[in-house]
């Protein structure tokens, strides 16, 4: 066990949670504006223009992270202010197998499952809605759902509320290990898809070049965005798994990092993705004279940002192809 006491670990976790929640709210406000209004912000999007999957996920992430913060605050008040019995604050944290512990223990895996689920959805969407591509990540995700249910069932039966107790530790280790696997697989598949389309565009002459002569590929920016966000998520998950495995009280601050990093990275992908689709005055686009006869429309600039789910821009940029020979 770590030399850090449980009350101290809970206080540090709450400090991290409050700071990250503030950052999350800022990114949520920006992402929400992009989701619900046009790029210019002059009008609300029509219902047909709104990406409802992203809106619903954003709402669930917000409600869940807020619930976790509120319950953690209530627990701290009970431990350090209201409770005056033997054992002090430690007694509340170690014998809190009531509704507070159950809700807090539900919020973290639920937030993680949402983050993993949206990664799988993005992967499925970009690979032309191929179920074969996401078969393995999706099966692991379903296994993680079952693992979470078993984890919570054991926790409800535990005599103490510590989520690092030996009875349920293997289930927690399995959950975080599978979370890391899902993140690595889906991020690699998404980046691989973007890279393939980017190579095809360059091969067919669809290149975005700045007026200063420096190549500037929108898909390259999207690929970097996904890699950076995936690295943040993966590093935090690895840290959470490590602290959980060694049964350290640092697992509590790690869980606070995890639950809010999911929402922050989700919002950053939307924000940075939308920025890459906006037209820039210093950018010129070079496209071939002929395009495929099956092409119905194509977008070379950012347009109005009608498709806020920025990664679906692949459908637009990959439509360019050499003229069909007859």
- Report if residue 101 sits inside a domain: yes
Query: Can you give the pLDDT at residue 159?
Result: 54
Q: Which domain holds residue 104?
A: 6-284
Mean per-residue pLDDT over the chain, rounded: 79
- Report if residue 322 sits inside a domain: no
- pLDDT exceeds 90 at position 201: no
pLDDT digits (tens, 9 = 90+) for 224-264: 888 888 888 899 999 999 999 988 889 999 999 999 999 99
> Which of 118 and 97 is assigned the larger pLDDT?
118
Number of domains composing the chain: 1
- Report if residue 319 sits inside a domain: no
Query: Can you give the pLDDT at residue 247?
Result: 84
Region of poorest pLDDT, from 26-30, 115-119, 146-150, 151-155: 151-155
Give me the torsion for CA of 202, 188, 53, 142, rounded to 10°.
Answer: 150
- pLDDT exceeds 90 at position 270: no
- Report if residue 314 sits inside a domain: no
Q: In whole angstroms, how far apart are CA 301 and each of 40, 250, 261, 284?
A: 15, 47, 31, 9
- pLDDT exceeds 70 at position 67: yes
Query: Can you give the pLDDT at residue 212?
Result: 42
pLDDT band at 199 (very low <50, low <70, confident <90, very high): confident
Read off the pLDDT of each residue in 144-159 and give the average, rounded to a whole number: 86
Query: Can you give the pLDDT at residue 144?
Result: 96
- Report if residue 62 sits inside a domain: yes
The helix/strand/coil state of 175 is helix
- Report if residue 298 sits inside a domain: no
- pLDDT exceeds 80 at position 281: no
Greatest mean pLDDT among 51-55, 286-290, 303-307, 317-321 lies in 51-55
- Report if residue 292 sits inside a domain: no
> Which of 269 and 85 is assigned the larger pLDDT?
269
- pLDDT exceeds 90 at position 217: no
pLDDT digits (tens, 9 = 90+) for 158-191: 755 555 567 788 999 999 999 999 999 999 999 8
The helix/strand/coil state of 286 is strand
CATH code of 251's domain: 1.20.1070
Task: Please give the angle made by the CA atoms of 126, 221 and 195, to the nearest 5 degrees.
Answer: 45
Query: Can you give the pLDDT at residue 5?
Result: 87
How many whole angstroms separate alpha carbon 123 and alpha carbon 268? 17
Query: Which residue, 274, 232, 257, 251, is CA-closest to 119?
Result: 232
Read off the pLDDT of each residue in 140-154 and give the average, rounded to a whole number: 93
pLDDT band at 320 (very low <50, low <70, confident <90, very high): very low
- Report if residue 185 sits inside a domain: yes
Read off the pLDDT of each residue in 5-21 and give the average, rounded to a whole number: 93
């Amino acid at each position: 066990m770590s030399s850090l006491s449980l009350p101290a670990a809970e206080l540090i976790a709450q400090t991290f949670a409050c700071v990250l929640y503030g950052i999350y709210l800022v990114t949520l406000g920006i992402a929400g504006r992009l989701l619900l209004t046009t790029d210019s912000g002059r009008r609300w999007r029509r219902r047909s223009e709104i990406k409802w999957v992203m809106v619903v996920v954003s709402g669930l992430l917000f409600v869940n992270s807020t619930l976790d913060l509120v319950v953690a605050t209530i627990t701290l008040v009970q431990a350090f202010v209201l409770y005056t019995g033997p054992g002090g604050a430690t007694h509340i944290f170690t014998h809190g197998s009531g509704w507070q512990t159950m809700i807090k223990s539900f919020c973290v895996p639920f937030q993680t499952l949402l983050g993993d689920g949206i990664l799988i959805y993005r992967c499925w969407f970009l690979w032309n809605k191929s179920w074969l591509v996401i078969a393995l990540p999706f099966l692991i995700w379903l296994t993680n759902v079952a693992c979470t249910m078993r984890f919570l069932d054991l926790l409800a039966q535990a005599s103490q509320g510590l989520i690092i107790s030996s009875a349920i530790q293997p289930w927690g280790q399995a959950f975080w290990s599978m979370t890391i696997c899902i993140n690595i697989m889906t991020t690699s598949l998404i980046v691989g898809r973007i890279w393939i389309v980017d190579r095809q565009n360059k091969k067919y002459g669809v290149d975005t070049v700045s007026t200063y002569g420096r190549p500037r590929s929108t898909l390259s920016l999207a690929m970097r965005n996904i890699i950076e966000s995936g690295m943040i998520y993966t590093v935090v998950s690895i840290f959470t798994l490590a602290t959980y495995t060694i049964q350290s009280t640092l697992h509590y601050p790690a869980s606070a990092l995890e639950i809010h990093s999911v929402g922050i990275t989700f919002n950053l992908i939307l924000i940075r993705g939308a920025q890459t689709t906006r037209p820039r005055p210093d950018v010129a686009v070079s496209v071939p004279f002929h395009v495929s006869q099956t092409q119905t429309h194509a977008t070379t600039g950012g347009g109005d940002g009608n498709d806020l789910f920025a990664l679906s821009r692949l459908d637009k940029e990959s439509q360019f192809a050499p003229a069909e020979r007859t």
